[in-house]
Structure 1
Amino acid sequence: MCGRYAATANPDELTLEFEVDDDRTSDPTRSILANPQSPPAGTPDHNMAPTKQAPVVLTRVPRGEEGAAPTRQLRLLTWGLVPAWAKDSKGGVRMINARAETVLEKPAYATAAARRRCLVPAQGWYEWQVSPTATDAKGKPLKQPFFTHRADGESCAFAGLYEFWRDPSVADNDDPAAWLTTFTIITSAAEPGLDRIHDRQPLVLDRADWEQWLDPTLTDTGAVAALLEPRRPGRFTAYPVSRAVSSNRSNGPQLLDPLPASELHGVVDPTTGEIIGSPS
């Protein structure tokens, strides 16, 4: 799964890198958070967690401009997909990921997979490796967080889906509170090496696939399925980081700092399979 990632770029940087036509991150949006988002939505966030609003790239016809050409937009969407037919917004917390192998079949994702695809920009993602030898104070296997990013230094573009949910309790259709726009990140089986950290990873699309993935006129499920196929291995590098990232209240660039080998206990090296550090 992908349950945390680093979204470290500003909208201006994303607009350039993802060739965005229309930056809509300043538009009023509905949030499901009880408290103000920290860091504020649309600013660098080194510990992006479910239910937060995150920058997402999508292509669609601007609202109120029927007949106009679709434009590539940057918007703030809530992480955790809520299907249009859902009775309420609570289920989104459980739908932060969609499996590439079944996304075209599952009712919660199939329509979005055919018509509402997006890119989720990230510097990289976090995943927790369960130690085969080390245990915590309660005797449970120790979990070591890793940060994974592209080895070529490029940003990751996670394949995602988005949906609009209409709140029936809000009468005015033009009220921003009437609409909740959410997204999910598609995952695939982890490639060799990364599977020593976790058995799943986000599906990261290369730049050559962006335009086709974002094309709202591409509704052929066979063509979409081809874009969901696993990519070549070896694009990523991963290293252990501080357990501070396990708290969603922790943030800042220090979360990306590599953890010294002297602080590792029973950690499996993703590249060699060697166990690093004593069990305690």
Structure 2
Amino acid sequence: MTTDPAKLAAEIDARNEIDPPPSGSSRSAGESSRSADESSRSPSAVEGNFNVAPTTTVMTVVDRHEHGVPDDIAARRIRAMRWGLVPSWTKELGKGPLLINARAESLAEKPAFRTSLKGKRCLVPMDGWYEWRKGPAGADGKPTKTPFFMSPEDGTRLFMGGLWAAWRPAEARAAGDDSAWVSSMTIITTDAVGALRDVHDRMPLIMPFEFWDAWLDPDSPADPALLRPPSADLVDRISVREVSPLVNRVSNNGPELLDPVS
């Protein structure tokens, strides 16, 4: 993801609730506005990231009411969230399973996801995503994995369906501390379609613009029709290219990761 949060907010007519970095510092920190139920306090980057890893802070799009005013019109907002859903019952941050993906077919049955599915749905903007195709066993006996990058042919941005949750430590709950909330999210996946199946059998759930209002509505249940795999014509507009194994190391982070392998 390489777009500035303020620019994205202007493009989609949303409120940017990601704090800018302090004057004189680099753009390496992102933190959402500190409302009592949805503040994200992770220090990770939220833009200009070519190798987004789990637990990194990323940009999300939500529709939310003003805190404490449930009867107002829900506004579209850009917020920073930790990648890897942290359910509200989690005892300690980082100790539970790393819920970076959620299968569309079982969201309503999984305790970790079904509450968020009811009213905490989000969009995850991205330039594209990586996937790895398994190959024959290497010298170590393990299957080789070849990285690919998927992105729209016309250079437009993708918005994936996701779920989010708000969590705070038990001691903060007991003390009524509203400054310790952590917002986190997971990306929904579905069966891969078209040429994408040649790389992997799963793919992120692409959410077309015409479905945004229904998907983000915090006061309505999720429409099961929105959880179906994308249409073939939509997927046909996505380019698939093999990229360098440099992406396998999280410390490598730059535009060269997107260069096609000749």
TM-score bucket of the superposed structures, by smaller chain: 0.7 to 0.9
Residue 18 of structure 2 corresponds to 25
| TM-fit CA distance, 1:30 | 2.2
Report the CA distance shift for 1:256/1:82 in structure 2 as closer, same or farther (over 3 A).
Answer: same
8 Å CA contact retained: 1:81, 1:184 = yes
The SS at the match of 2:170 is coil
| Alpha-carbon shift at residue 66 of structure 1 (Å) | 4.3
Secondary structure, counterpart of 1:210 in structure 2: helix
Following superposition, the deviation at residue 172 of structure 1 comes to 4.7
TM-score, scaled to structure 1: 0.80
1:235, 1:197 → 2: CA distance? Answer: 16
Inter-partner Cα distance in structure 2 for 1:66 and 1:130: 48
**Matches of 1:13 and 1:137, distance apart in 2:** 47
Contact 2:91/2:170 (<8 A) preserved = no
In 2, the alpha carbon distance for the partners of 1:115 and 1:129 equals 34
**Aligned pair in 2 of structure 1 residues 30, 112: CA closer, same or farther (>3 Å)?**
same
- The one-letter code sitting in structure 2 at the alignment partner of 1:56 is T
Aligned to 1:81: 85
SS at the partner of 2:71? coil
- Please give the TM-score of this superposition, normalised by the length of structure 2: 0.85
Structure 1 159/243 Cα, relative in aligned 2: closer, same or farther at 3 Å? same
Match of 1:107 in 2: 111
Q: Distance in 2 between the 1:103 and 1:66 partners?
A: 26
* Residue from 48, 52, 63 that aligns with 2:52: 48
Query: How far apart are the structure 2 equivalents of 1:248 and 1:146?
Result: 15
What whole-Å deviation, never above 9, does each CA across 1:201-237 have from its counterpart, x for those lacking one? 0001111111111111222x5xx21110111122311
Between the two proteins, the alignment pairs up a number of residues equal to 239
Candidates 1, 5, 17, aligned match of 1:11: 5
Where 2:224 maps in the other structure, the secondary structure is: helix
- Matches of 1:248 and 1:238 in 2, distance apart? 21
Seq. identity, %: 40
Out of 126, 133, 142, the position equivalent to 2:130 is: 126
Deviation readout 1:77-115 (Å, 9 max, x if unpaired): 000001112222225652110000111221110111111
Contact 1:116/1:162 (CA < 8 Å) preserved in 2? yes
SS in 2 for 1:48: coil
Mapping for residues 154-169 of structure 1, pairs under 5 Å: 154-169=156-171
RMSD, aligned α-carbons? 1.7
1:228 equivalenced with 2:227 (yes/no) = yes
Counterpart code for 2:226:
L
Q: Which runs of 5+ in 1 are unaligned?
A: 1-6, 261-280
